[in-house]
Structure 1
Amino acid sequence: MDWPVSVALAQAVQTLPVGADLHYEIKLDGHRLVLWRTAETVRLQTRSGREVTSAWMDLALTGMQLPAGVVLDGEAVVYVNGRVDFGAAQSRANSTPARARELAARHPAHYGVFDVLQHPEHGDVRGWSYVRRRALLEHLLEEYGIGPPIQAVPTTTDVVLARVWYEALQPQGVEGLVVKAGSSTYRGGSRQWKKVRHAETVDAAVVGYTGPAGRPRHLAVRLPDGRVALSQALKSPLSAQVAPLLEGAGPGRQARTGGGERYRAVDVDVWVEVLAGTTRHAVVTVTRLR
């Protein structure tokens, strides 16, 4: 398997799918990471393929307990006061190595694993069914005595229990459920899974901005249907949060949305949540960074 791997994605739906051969996993509110246990070390990859090992060094060190040749897919989360805190995970992801060490000392990261892509004995297992991969994942963690902060996310085939999770775990920072067919293989780049979230939002990639990089006024985002649109005016906290990421991307280039609005295009690995109801319009509402 070649670095970086293309990850499978989920399509947002408004109601929980019900049917035979469906498996329900809790959806943690963190940062998607692929963990590579190589012969000498551990590397961590974002869903876009960027290496971020230095920001999550505590997870990388824990991952050394795994056998060489393992590749896992999961979510890095940070707990604050017993609750999954997305803001804390975002701060870690966007910090310098020195700052990341300070944050890790206060709030160590956890890694919720939901898939195994490669195994030292079986090689690339993305062509296996979800049921076989899940069994292999659980056996792997048990065989090597792997426990928190690395652990498999809960899963069930009981839709009643899944609904209980959906409602009862929200106060703990669980943002919803991911639904997967038991017979499905792992297809990178495809939105083969379904996700149900409490907030009616969709994920959008940041492709540019207006105003100065140090204080952006609007974000240009690529929506799930491929359209590029400008966000509404950013509130000061969100503008300040995204500014360092834009400043590090260089000067960018002039571009226009499909509607003709000008913006400065940049290549950054930044995703935001956008209110689903606003994506039909030329200007969308960004709720937070992902």
Structure 2
Amino acid sequence: MIRVALAAAVRTLPRGAGLAYEPKFDGHRLVVVRTAQDVVLQARSGRIVTAAFPDLAAAARQLPAGTVLDGEVVVWHAGRTDFALVQRRAAAASAARAAVLAQRLPASYAAFDVLELAGLDVRTRPYERRRALLVDLLLPLGPPLQPVPMTTDPELAETWYATLPASGIEGLVVKRLDESYPAGRRSWRKLRHTDVADAAVIGFTGTPRCPLALVLVLPGDDEAPVVSSPLPAGLRTEMAAAVATLGEAAPAAATVTAIGLGEVPFRLLDPPLAAEVRRSSARHPPPEVLRLRTGL
């Protein structure tokens, strides 16, 4: 398993000499490994997801053997990246289904680092040099393998931060030009537009086949669990599938206070799941579920 670099959240844009700024795409982290024989696609969790993205695997066969890239897989729809469509691609249950989805929902790979190039490990080289190698490698190939944009100008980065959300960009990632690849460490910094955090999903309202909202324990919140805002249709379907994989959920024996509704029954999950949520404060308004963390 290849350990990827991580980013720590910040609330303001870092400034100073020797910094680089990249757009943060709303997709799934993906490591592309071009071996001597074929291509392996690895998720951040270490799961091998090559079969789910045959279009990216085919494109990656153009890379020199012994090359490893770090980046994000995204699906573009109506001029913006659509995370739900990436989830749909990742959930393909068979090779035939994956091939159909690759035709209907082609994936793109936004590469932001190179770890190995033609058998040479370049992780110890400074980011500035790795970036140059990445651009030289991918620009002649073209889509769907593309280097993410990068600037060292904080004013341009501020403009990106203000204007790119319309394209589905979450924010910015900030890196030091002189830094080696920080595998497994939160050395990079990320600036997002919203207060986004991972929460524990301890249950849900509604039925196993039609979950209506999630019961969450928010990070740093020692009070009672909270109920999310109503789930959109896509997340209801995804949550129902997740519940089915866990087996029979507990009956609606517990209760939780929901804003505007009072005490409502909910079904407990064992073990809990995880979800990424957006919140403006701990409880008002209810947190919005952005996605389930399904292990990809």
In the superposition, the TM-score normalised over structure 2's length comes to 0.79
Matches within 5 A, 1:223-262: 230=225, 232-233=227-228, 234-235=230-231, 237=233, 238-250=235-247
Distance change in 2, residues 1:44/1:225 (3 Å): farther
Q: Which structure has the larger Rg over C-alpha atoms?
A: 2
Identity %: 44
Distance change in 2, residues 1:52/1:208 (3 Å): farther
Amino acid at match of 2:167: Q
Distance change in 2, residues 1:156/1:202 (3 Å): same
**Aligned to 1:174, which of 169, 177, 197?**
169
Residue in 1 that maps onto 2:255: none
Distance change in 2, residues 1:196/1:94 (3 Å): same
Residue in 2 that maps onto 1:122: 120
Amino acid at match of 2:110: G
8 Å Cα contact 1:33/1:47 also seen in 2: yes
Cα deviation for residue 120 of structure 1 reads 2.4
Instruction: Find the residue that maps to 2:281 and give its secondary structure.
Output: helix
Q: What root-mean-square deviation, in Å, do the aligned CA atoms of Structure 1 and Structure 2 show?
A: 3.3
Distance, in Å, in 2 between the alignment partners of 1:228 and 1:153 is 41
Instruction: Find the residue that maps to 1:163 and give its secondary structure.
Output: helix
Number of positions where the alignment pairs a residue of Structure 1 with one of Structure 2:
275
Distance change in 2, residues 1:65/1:181 (3 Å): same
Cα deviation for residue 141 of structure 1 reads 2.3
**Aligned to 1:113, which of 99, 111, 114?**
111
Distance, in Å, in 2 between the alignment partners of 1:179 and 1:222 is 30
8 Å Cα contact 1:30/1:76 also seen in 2: yes
**Comparing both structures, which one devotes a greater share of its residues to strand?**
2
8 Å Cα contact 2:21/2:173 also seen in 1: yes
Cα deviation for residue 163 of structure 1 reads 1.3
**Aligned to 1:134, which of 131, 134, 145?**
131
Amino acid at match of 2:276: V
Distance, in Å, in 1 between the alignment partners of 2:130 and 2:222 is 35
Cα deviation for residue 30 of structure 1 reads 1.3
Amino acid at match of 2:287: T
**Aligned to 1:201, which of 192, 195, 219?**
195
Structure 1 runs of 4+ aligned residues shifted over 6 Å read 220-229
8 Å Cα contact 2:216/2:227 also seen in 1: no
Amino acid at match of 1:235: L
Distance, in Å, in 2 between the alignment partners of 1:247 and 1:26 is 36
Distance change in 2, residues 1:209/1:128 (3 Å): farther
Distance, in Å, in 2 between the alignment partners of 1:284 and 1:6 is 35
Distance change in 2, residues 1:227/1:112 (3 Å): farther
Distance change in 2, residues 1:231/1:288 (3 Å): farther
Distance change in 2, residues 1:167/1:247 (3 Å): same
Deviations 1:63-95 (A, max 9, x none): 111112111110111111222222222222223
Residue in 2 that maps onto 1:160: 155
Distance change in 2, residues 1:215/1:289 (3 Å): same
Distance change in 2, residues 1:164/1:38 (3 Å): same
Distance change in 2, residues 1:226/1:66 (3 Å): farther
Residue in 2 that maps onto 1:28: 25
Distance, in Å, in 1 between the alignment partners of 2:4 and 2:60 is 19
Distance change in 2, residues 1:181/1:100 (3 Å): same
Give unmatched runs, 5+ long, in structure 2.
Answer: 251-265
